[in-house]
Amino acid sequence: MAFEINMPQLGLTMEEGTVSKWVKQEGDAVKVGDVIVEITTDKLTSEVESEFDGILLKIVAQEGEDIPVKGLLAYIGEKGEALSGAAAPAVVPTAQAAPVTAAPTAAASAPIVNANGRIRISPLAKKTATKMGVDYANVKGSGPAGRIVQKDILAAAQNAPVVAPVVAPAAAPAPVAASGSIDLMEGDEVVKLAGMRKVVAERMAQSRREIPSVTQNVKIDVTNLMKFRKQINVELGVKYSVNDFILKAVAKALKNNKHILVSLDGDKIIKRAHVNVGMAVALDEGLIVPVLKDIDKMSLEEISATAKDLAERARTNKLGMDEYKGSTFSISNLGMFGVETFDPIVNQPDSGILGVCAVQDELVMDDEGNISKRQFMRISFTFDHRLIDGATAAKFELAIKELLENPMKILL
C-alpha cells in the first residue's frame, strides 16, 4: 500500500514551503529516518525524513516549487506498486501520511474550486495577485490539484486581464521585470529564483516597501577597544573577536534604551520585554539571522561562545527552528569585508538594525598640533521612522559610541 509524503508544518506561522532538493530519487529504496527531501521556509532549509520503509515511487512536487502545508510531495510504497492517484493527487491532502485510496476525476483548465466555492490559491500568490492587479479567477494553477501558486501569478501578469489593485497606489511595489523581459546574450546563465535566495528576496522587498526607514551613520574611535581586546586575549589566552565586544556593547545599550525595542503590529505598538539580538550570517545561498536570546544577561565569554556556535551551525544547516526566531533587534557586520558604510534593511518585525563597518587607520591632529594614528569604525543604524525618531536613534547610537570608546564600561 502506497503512502503520501506531505509538506510538514515546520512552524506555527508556516503556510507553504519550497522544495529545495530531492535527496532521494524515484526508484530509490527508503528506510524510516532517511532524509528524502530538503524544504526551505523562513530562510531555513530543513530536512524531511521518511516515516516509512519502501520505494520512492513518485515525486509529485518538483524542485523550486512552492507547496502549501500538508500539500502532497511524493509517494512511498512497495516496488512495482501501481499508483492510480499519482497523476492527480487529492484536492485536500491529509495532515499525516495516509494510504492512497482513490484518484480525483477531473483536472480542468480553470482554477480548482472547493466545495465552498473558493478558488484554490496560496496566500503568497493571492497577495502577489492583489498587489500586481492580476485577476486570478481565470489563472490556471500549476500547483498540487490545480492550486494557484506565485509563479502562476507572475506568469499571468504579462497578459492576463487586470483589475484595479485593492491597495492604494502608494503602497504598490516598484515595477518588477516580468519573466522573459530581459534580452539574453551569449554566455548568460538563467537560474530559477528559488529556495533561500527566493525567501530573502521576498523578505527584503517586503521590508523596503512597508517601512519608511532612515539610516544614520556615526564614526567611532575604537583605538582603545582594539588595544583592550588584544590585552585581554593575551593575558587570558582567549580569542574574543571585535564582534563579541560589539554584541556586548549593543546589548547593554539596548537594555538602557528600551524605546528601541519595539515592533509595529497593525495599529498597535509592542514593547519587547527581551533583548534578543539577531546576528546576520551570510551563506552562499542567502542570508540567515540566528538569534542570541536574552543577550543582555550574558557575559562576554557566553556571548562569544554562543555567537560562534550559532554561526557555525547556520553555515552547516544545523540550526533549530527556534534559533532564528524571536529577534527584537538585529546586527549585520560587514567590517571583515572592508565595507566603510552601508544601509542595512530592517529585519521585520524589529524596528531597527545596526550595520557594523570596517576598522580603519587614520591620522589625527590634536589641539596642540600633534599627529597620531588612531583607529576608527563607522556604525550605520537603520530604523523604522514610524516607531523611532531621529533624535531618539541618535541617543542610542551615542550610547554605543560611549561604550566602544571606553571598553572597560562594556564589562562593568
Shortest CA distance to 96 belongs to which of 15, 192, 203, 7?
7
- Residues 397 and 345: their CA atoms lie apart, in Å, by 17
What is the CB-side half-sphere exposure of residue 155 using CA atoms within 13 A? 10
Contact 146, 140 (CB under 8 A): yes
- Residues 205 and 240: their CA atoms lie apart, in Å, by 35
Which helix (H) or strand (E) segment holds residue 258: the answer is none
Which helix (H) or strand (E) segment holds residue 225: the answer is helix 223-236
Within 147-236, strands assigned E span: 213-221
Residues designated as active site:
385
- Residues 375 and 230: their CA atoms lie apart, in Å, by 14
In the structure grid, which three cell numbers stand for residue 254, read together?
A: 539596548
Where does residue 18 rank: exposed (0-12), middle (13-18), buried (19+ CB within 10 A)? buried
Shortest CA distance to 146 belongs to which of 100, 117, 113, 116?
113
Shortest CA distance to 45 belongs to which of 35, 53, 55?
35
Q: Tally Cβ neighbours within 10 Å of residue 380.
A: 22
In the structure grid, which three cell numbers stand for residue 277, read together?
A: 539580538
- Residues 37 and 15: their CA atoms lie apart, in Å, by 18
- Residues 328 and 316: their CA atoms lie apart, in Å, by 25
- Residues 111 and 145: their CA atoms lie apart, in Å, by 9
**Strand partners for 277:** 292, 329
- Residues 134 and 267: their CA atoms lie apart, in Å, by 28
What sections of 100-149 are H helices per DSSP? 123-132
Q: What share of the chain is helix, strand, coil (3-state, %, to 5)?
A: 30, 25, 45
In the structure grid, which three cell numbers stand for residue 248, read together?
A: 556586548
Shortest CA distance to 333 belongs to which of 360, 295, 359?
359
Contact 103, 6 (CB under 8 A): no
